């Protein structure tokens, strides 16, 4: 992968490769789940514990091949009855249904080993499945060793096996490293079982994509696309409208209700939950965010936010963690919120920052308002009451409270509480210095425009009016 991140920890649809594999394998309810870790062992083992606290991580100190890895895995438990399922950790498209079908086929046939196979259009580089007259598997022939006839075979080894535990343990002890890589190959166990007269069968995957591995960033991108197509297809079949699947990305843990519409350029990530009738997008990213019924979220980035029913958000809004928008409220264009609670019907329509604030129901926040919440050491809270009206270009210097039904004047810097029903005014009176531009900016376009306005004004005024004779009393 050419990455500091261990391969199996790269993510697809909000889940690691290893996470996808473990969830697929969990479908058969194993008595033990063992993960053999090598590169980045400590990091991978910690991740395994996070995914499944009951899983056992075994470190393969020396990388001696797939057979050696399987042998290391068997050291995690003593039982040799029953069977084990061996899967690769880098097969993120493997599904629970495919693993269950493999196990069902294995139990039904009574075979010593059942190998998962896939029919592919281009088998180049893959091990071919050689079957006998009865349909049993007699060998797996690697591409380099296959003859012309064998290379025509399109059924290939997917690298997933259900195998008798005792026979696997015995076979692994017999493996040789007499090969070009000097490694123990798990596939050689199949040959040993066949040579000993045991029945080996194949279980064909219904979807060949389930068996695809992932060895570089190009393949990872392709697997992401395939998985995303599966996710979107499943939601659309349940009644979700996705306008452009090619530009829409949805993580595996996202929940969408029938009737949701997802517009182009949208990413729904983490544990995001969108209720019926809501419209999200275009060009929106929601992370671990809840969206209520009939809400509208347009060109918005939101994380750990709760958007209630019939709420309007955006365009170009930024909802940061701790944002809670009650039913019918609005966060409009170029508004950022954090640790903010808007009551029902409250509105912050334009160009504002709302941090560490509670805004009561029905309240309207004027354009270009800033909730000044940080003093350089700690953050403080602002409370705006119900049905209040705050003027444009206000600053609320926390901690401060504006009461129910109160108003604040435009341009105010509110540093003290405003009682309910009062008008808070915190600004200096305007003073006009007449003639300033003519005196201090002579020759500029502003001075020329002022002069033209002065002349036009003089032309309209009565000549006998004394004030019309004094340029010091005119605009400019």
Residues recognised as catalytic: 350
Q: In 38-195, which ranges are continuous DSSP H helix? A: 41-51, 66-74, 96-109, 165-173, 187-195
Pairwise CA distance, residues 285 & 294, whole Å: 18
User: Among residues 241, 322, 259, which one has the least CA distance to residue 250?
Assistant: 241
Strand partners, 312: 296, 330
Distance CA 269, CA 266 (A): 10
Residue 266 CB partners (closer than 8 Å, separation 6+): 247, 248, 249, 280, 281, 282, 283, 284, 285, 286
334 with 349: CB under 8 angstroms? no
**Separation CA 9–CA 16 (nearest Å):** 5
Region of residue 19 (left: phi > 0; alpha: psi -120 to 50; beta: else): alpha
Residue carrying the six token digits 């880098």: 90
Dist CA 120 CA 99 (whole Å): 18
b/e code 161-178 from CB counts within 10 Å (16+ = b): bbbbeebbbebbeebeee
């Amino acid at each position: 992968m050419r990455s500091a991140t261990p391969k199996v920890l790269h993510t697809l649809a909000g889940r690691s490769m290893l996470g996808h594999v473990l969830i697929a394998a969990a479908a058969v309810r194993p008595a033990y789940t063992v993960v053999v870790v090598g590169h980045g062992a400590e990091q991978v083992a910690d991740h395994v514990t996070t995914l499944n606290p009951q899983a056992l991580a075994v470190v393969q100190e020396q990388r001696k091949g797939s057979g050696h890895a399987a042998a290391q895995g068997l050291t995690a438990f003593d039982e040799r009855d029953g069977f084990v399922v061996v899967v690769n950790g880098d097969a993120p498209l493997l599904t629970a249904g495919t693993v269950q079908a493999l196990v069902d086929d294995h139990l039904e046939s009574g075979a010593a080993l059942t190998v998962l196979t896939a029919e592919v259009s281009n088998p180049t580089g893959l091990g071919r499945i050689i079957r006998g007259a009865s349909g049993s598997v007699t060998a797996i022939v690697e591409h380099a060793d296959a003859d012309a006839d064998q290379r025509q075979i399109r059924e290939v080894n997917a690298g997933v096996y259900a195998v008798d535990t005792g026979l696997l343990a015995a076979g692994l002890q017999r493996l040789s490293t007499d090969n070009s890589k000097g490694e123990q190959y798990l596939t050689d166990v199949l040959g040993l079982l066949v040579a000993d007269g045991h029945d080996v069968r194949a279980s064909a995957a219904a979807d060949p994509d389930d068996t695809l591995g992932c060895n570089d960033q190009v393949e990872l991108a392709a697997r992401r696309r395939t998985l995303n197509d599966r996710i979107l297809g499943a939601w659309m079949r349940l009644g979700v409208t996705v306008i452009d699947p090619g530009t829409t990305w949805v993580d595996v843990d996202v929940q969408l209700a029938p009737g949701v519409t997802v517009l182009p350029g949208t990413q729904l990530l983490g544990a995001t939950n969108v209720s019926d009738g809501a419209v999200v997008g275009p060009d929106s990213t929601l992370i671990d965010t809840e969206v209520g019924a009939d809400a509208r979220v347009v060109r918005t980035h939101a994380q750990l936010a709760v958007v209630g029913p019939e709420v309007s958000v955006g365009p170009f809004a930024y909802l940061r963690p701790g944002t809670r928008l009650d039913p019918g409220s609005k966060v409009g264009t170029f508004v950022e919120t954090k640790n903010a609670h808007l009551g029902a019907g409250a509105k912050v329509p334009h160009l504002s920052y709302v941090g560490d604030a509670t805004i009561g129901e029905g309240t309207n926040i004027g354009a270009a308002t800033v909730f000044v919440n940080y003093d350089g050491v700690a953050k403080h809270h602002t409370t705006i009451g119900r049905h209040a009206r705050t003027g444009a270009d206000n600053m609320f210097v926390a901690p401060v409270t504006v009461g129910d039904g109160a108003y604040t004047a435009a341009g105010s810097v509110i540093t003290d509480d405003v009682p309910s029903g009062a008008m808070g005014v915190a600004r200096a009176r305007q003073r006009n210095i007449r003639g300033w531009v003519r005196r201090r900016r002579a020759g500029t376009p502003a001075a020329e425009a002022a002069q033209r306005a002065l002349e036009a004004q003089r032309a309209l005024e009565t000549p006998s009016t004394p004030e019309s004779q004094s340029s010091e009393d005119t605009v400019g």
